[in-house]
Structure 1
Amino acid sequence: MLRVILLTALAMLAFAGNSLLCRVALRDSELDPASFTAIRLVSGALVLCLLVMLRGKGRVQGDWRSALALFGYAAGFSFAYVELDAGTGALVLFGAVQASMIGYGWLHGERLRALQIVGLLCAIGGLLLLLLPGASAPQPQAAGMMLLAGVAWAFYSLLGRGNSDPLAATAGNFLRSLPALLPLCLLYYPHLQWDRLGAFYALLSGALASGIGYAIWYTALPHLRAMQAASVQLSVPIIAAVAGALLLGEQLSLRLLIASVAVLGGIALILLVKAKA
């Protein structure tokens, strides 16, 4: 059990690390968001395929719809972090993912109980509080890009439900996402620029936080109940916000703290009530 706890903690640190690495790369280096996306996906694909090969069984899988959703998430994520702080971006992303998956369930016949509705209203209210105009509000275009990234990640997660070999599927999806980098870089060509520091951060995001991080998560996941797997991810925005304040000098505004309590508390309430049903 201790091994599962350690693996899960490492996976959550890796997920939060993606937010930190993307933010610091785009804030403190010359790297542009399109180049960050390209380096992240290419390095992630190489590491994941290598892990599948080293495992010695099976081969990469995946499908094109999942690959497109993965690309949409990665691109939206990178362009959003040009403006967003690490903690704010993680909270918007996480809130959008959960809201999208709850909405999908509702459209397919799942109905919320009274306490779940309260939780949903709290989560929506928290996101609205965070996004409303004000001195500490995130830049609207960047927040919109992160919301779209969250919807894409939710779609990717829904498509991947029931994969018998999630590591092989993820490796294949990373590989299939690479052709989409060509039109992205062509469209963004006049603004492409990079330096060694930014490329290093992007490599860490792709190879370590994404490639190794996903591998660790998929090792721990079979040992977690669905409720545990969903709940533990509530820690990611908190880790990103605290680490952003400690490591990147970002401010923990009162608005972000209140929004975090509302969003994460509301989602936790939805998960807890569902688990008891």
Structure 2
Amino acid sequence: MGGALIPAQRTLVLTALAMVAFAANSVLCRLALREGAIDAASFTAVRLVSGAVALGLILLLRDRSVKAMATQGNQGSALALFVYAAGFSLAYVELATGTGALLLFGAVQATMIGIGLYRGERLAPLQWLGLMLALAGLVALMLPGATAPPLAAAALMLVAGAAWGVYSLRGKGAADATAVTAGNFLRALIWLLPLALFAWPAQWPQGAGLVYAVLSGALASGAGYAIWYLALRGLVSSTAATVQLSVPVLAALAGVLWLDEAFTLRLLLASAAILGGIALVIRRGASR
């Protein structure tokens, strides 16, 4: 055996790395935008380009031709990916790290659950309770007040989360999720042109902002998604969904520790309601 990890340990390590990577996206974006080292449109562009490059390199390391990127994915998923990435960056101009991650995660799960209901899925009474609790948490977080997030920024993050939920459902069951993701990153680059026109004149990225955006695209996004797909091989669906509840918590803690952001009572109560409610939906669905 030597020093090799057993499958369960390997899955645990991969899952932990993926959750840290997902939370790091929020931290890196907020850090770059807060310091004014890059604008939101440029951050989105650099993130998508560096993510595509990183995923292409991963395919090469797997003895796959980069040409596979041109045949994988589709324009619909690429558009959803772009809307997520652009909305994410634009929202974090004003949102705190933890608040943005919580809004994003809540919107992702609400979108996926809502589409499931539209397609005919049914919820047990306890699941309905969980869904109502999560929605109440989102509403409470958005209510006017001294600690409420800016409405426009919050709406942008909800749109980003909805787009990511759609993207996730469109890619469900992909035979090679990493190759499909690489193809979608490549296809999403075409949407950078209208974004550049919308944001013109864009700020020329400074050194730190460029570094944060590359780290977000290449490591937290490209490598992070590849690691997550490896971890999914050892996780059942309910566990995979539940473990993602850790991402907003990790992002909020990182914001407090590294960005000197306040962890308010409103955010604490909303987090408990949203994450607890979603956990009820997921776990009850698994038990059924």
Q: Same fold (TM over 0.5)?
A: yes
Cα distance, 1:200 vs structure 2: 0.6
Instruction: Name the structure 2 match of 1:76.
Output: 87
Partner residue of 2:12 out of 5, 22, 36: 5
Residue deviations 1:209-230 (CA, integer Å, cap 9, x gap): 0011111111111110000100
Q: TM-score, normalised by structure 1?
A: 0.98
Partner residue of 2:249 out of 227, 235, 238: 238
Map residues 26-65 of structure 1 onto 2, 5 A cutoff: 26-57=33-64, 59-60=68-69, 61-65=72-76
Map residues 187-206 of structure 1 onto 2, 5 A cutoff: 187-206=198-217
Tell me if 1:170 matches 2:177: no
Instruction: Name the structure 1 match of 2:271.
Output: 260
**Preserved contact between residue 185 and residue 192 of structure 1 (Cα < 8 Å):** no
Gap runs ≥5 in structure 1: none
Give, as a single letter, the amino acid of the residue that structure 2 aligns with 1:90: A
Instruction: Name the structure 1 match of 2:231.
Output: 220
Q: How many corresponding residue pairs?
A: 277
Instruction: Name the structure 2 match of 1:153.
Output: 164
Distance 2:211 2:96 in 1: 20
Cα distance, 1:190 vs structure 2: 2.1
Return structure 1 stretches of 4+ with deviation > 6 angstroms.
Answer: none
Q: TM-score, normalised by structure 2?
A: 0.95
Cα distance, 1:193 vs structure 2: 3.2
**Preserved contact between residue 44 and residue 89 of structure 2 (Cα < 8 Å):** yes
Distance 2:44 2:205 in 1: 12
Distance 2:108 2:51 in 1: 21
Cα distance, 1:75 vs structure 2: 0.1
Report the secondary structure of 1:237's partner residue.
helix
Residue deviations 1:73-124 (CA, integer Å, cap 9, x gap): 0000000000001100000000000001110011011111110111011100
Cα distance, 1:3 vs structure 2: 1.1
Cα distance, 1:53 vs structure 2: 1.5
**Preserved contact between residue 80 and residue 167 of structure 2 (Cα < 8 Å):** yes
Distance 2:234 2:21 in 1: 19
Instruction: Name the structure 2 match of 1:115.
Output: 126
> Percent identity at matched positions?
60
Give, as a single letter, the amino acid of the residue that structure 2 aligns with 1:185: A
**Preserved contact between residue 22 and residue 81 of structure 1 (Cα < 8 Å):** yes
Cα distance, 1:29 vs structure 2: 2.9
Gap runs ≥5 in structure 2: 1-7
Name the Cα RMSD after superposition: 0.8
Instruction: Name the structure 1 match of 2:3.
Output: none
**Preserved contact between residue 196 and residue 202 of structure 2 (Cα < 8 Å):** no
Residue deviations 1:234-257 (CA, integer Å, cap 9, x gap): 000000001110111100000000
**Preserved contact between residue 87 and residue 237 of structure 1 (Cα < 8 Å):** yes
Partner residue of 2:21 out of 4, 9, 14: 14
**Preserved contact between residue 76 and residue 148 of structure 1 (Cα < 8 Å):** yes
**Preserved contact between residue 126 and residue 259 of structure 1 (Cα < 8 Å):** yes
Cα distance, 1:156 vs structure 2: 0.3
